[in-house]
Amino acid sequence: MTNTTKKKIISFSLIIFGILVLIAGIMMVQTGFATFDDNEPRVGIYIGGIFTIIAGVFLTVGGTIYLNFERLKKKALRTAGKVADAVEEERNKEKRT
């Protein structure tokens, strides 16, 4: 198994599991209304559902970043290089005047 194939399998599994966790969190929030009816506190299910939704979002975003990490790294380095060039050019202009 090549490194690229392994990376794609990991990232797609993160995205798929993130979506599944997100769906589970939404279901928990829908069934666990924040009430204390019938001596059965459901606040825990509601709060747990919110945290589950947050975890699902993090898994999905993490899988997407892991899938596109090389491209994102190149873009970030190019942007940092452009900023550094612009700062250097501005300093040179200030020295000339």
Mean of the pLDDT values across residues 74-83? 89
In order of 34, 76, 78, the CA distances from 15 in angstroms are: 29, 23, 27
Q: How confident is the model at residue 45 (pLDDT cuts 50, 70, 90)?
A: confident
Question: Is the separation of the CB atoms in 43 and 6 below 8 Å?
Answer: no
Tell me which H or E stretch contains 49. helix 43-67
- Would you say residue 58 has pLDDT above 80? yes
33 alpha carbon, distance to own chain's centre? 27
- Whether the CA torsion 32, 33, 37, 43 is positive or negative: it is positive
- Rounded CA gap, 62 and 80, in Å? 22
pTM above 0.75?
no
Residue 34 has what pLDDT?
A: 57
Nearest to 57 by CA among 8, 24, 28, 29: 24
